[in-house]
A and B are shown apart, each in its own frame.
Chain A
């Protein structure tokens, strides 16, 4: 009987991580940033119909970078998780924390037990209202979960954009226009190319709205907002 080759667990994990990172690095970046009335999400996305940002529940949104089929699957599972919880208990019992935990468990298990890890990085954000703070969770391919403040970035050039945004030293959340132009400027600077508004996917979680607080901004909306 032929013996299988021995591969140390460290080596195996390292290989998987490298594989996943490579997949994610090919993708474009997505920024979530707190603004005065909520959270703004901006993604570089040439497609007008295949979304990277999505509504999950009343005040929760999702963004995924990496392999589309994989984060789309996660997005749908997240909507089911949220709708089930909201139906079983009540709408206010659906929280980003519980969802982020589910994602983290799921990604972690797949990373350690499956042949191929998921090549995704995802964001789960929740806008706080009635005096509650916003919540932003960044979850990696291996299930590690990071609780972010002020802004969160995922995707190919995430680290560079993060460093750039940190440099700005935001102390107060900007207004929507300010936040949007900051995101566009950062994406343009790191990608060293001019971005058209049509190639951006923009959405907000607006705490001033009632019920479902997620809203997409079309290219026309962003144009109007930026006054260009």
Chain B
């Protein structure tokens, strides 16, 4: 039965509903007018210069996952934004971090938040952790045409699987491929540097404070070697952000705690220079 004056659609996905009935509101909706400026090299940012967001990572520890990211967005050789937030709480048990073109990245995070809430309200139950990760993969896949316009969106998804009682990390490729990581992962221009640090220091079943410390160290090292990644900005008091994903839900690590960890880290580094 069709309902006049109200939106009609057949399944429980908000993303599919938008794609079908309001395509202009989806990230792919802008493909029409960017077409003219396309250059064909997916990794170069096309002819347009859009702010790019950079190093984000996730590390498993004994009760869940730490997910963290730096705060810098660059536009060519300029810094476009110093306080951008790249780690998002998606629902009660999941968070995602993004790398790529800032605008579409934030849009995808927002769309994914609505997607999960929409499903939960329509169906009366939450999607499983696996289901959420798959849905995000489909959204990344749908964004593929935009990649050729230079608008890359690369998420890192972290969820607490309530049925298995463990935190899980999922990474993606541009075609929507979804891969589960067993220990840690980092993406973005400084992702490799962050992974190198984590590889050296990671242990199974870390405690929460150690995992957080390792996450912040990895971000620090990435910022050291990668121009696109911002380190702690001591003058303005801007620090990377981190969230804890565990059975208690998603908690923000308070700024003072991050600041004190960096104070310790910087003091150790400084002592090596004397």
Contact = CB atoms under 8 A, between A and B. Distances in A.
Contacts of B18: 84, 87
A77 B3 contact: yes
A105 B3 CA distance: 10
Interface string B1-14: 10111111100001
Interface residues of B, number: 21
Interface in B117-163: 117-118, 121-122, 124
B126 to A, nearest CB: 13
A100 to B, nearest CB: 12
A106 interface: yes
Nearest to A56: B121
B246 to A, nearest CB: 20
Given A76-B122, A84-B22, A88-B25, A106 B114 contact: no
B5 to A, nearest CB: 4
A79 interface: yes
A174 interface: no
B202 interface: no
A81 B114 contact: no
Contacts of A81: 6-7
A205 to B, nearest CB: 14
Contacts of A79: 118, 121-122
B4 to A, nearest CB: 5
Contacts, number: 60
Where chain A touches its partner, the secondary structure class is helix
B118 A105 contact: no
Given A83-B14, A87-B110, A88-B25, A106 B5 contact: yes
Interface string A69-86: 010011011111101101
Given A84-B22, A87-B110, A105 B5 contact: yes
B7 A84 contact: yes
B8 A77 contact: yes
A109 B25 CA distance: 28
Contacts of A106: 3-6
A86 B118 CA distance: 11
Contacts of A55: 121
A110 interface: yes
B124 A73 contact: no
Interface string A101-120: 01101100110000000000
A77 B6 contact: yes
A66 to B, nearest CB: 14
A80 B114 contact: no
B114 A105 contact: no
Contacts of A103: 6
B121 A110 contact: no
Given A76-B122, A88-B25, A109 B5 contact: yes
Interface in A22-39: none
9 contacts: A70-B1, A73-B1, A76-B122, A77-B7, A78-B6, A87-B111, A88-B22, A88-B25, A109-B4
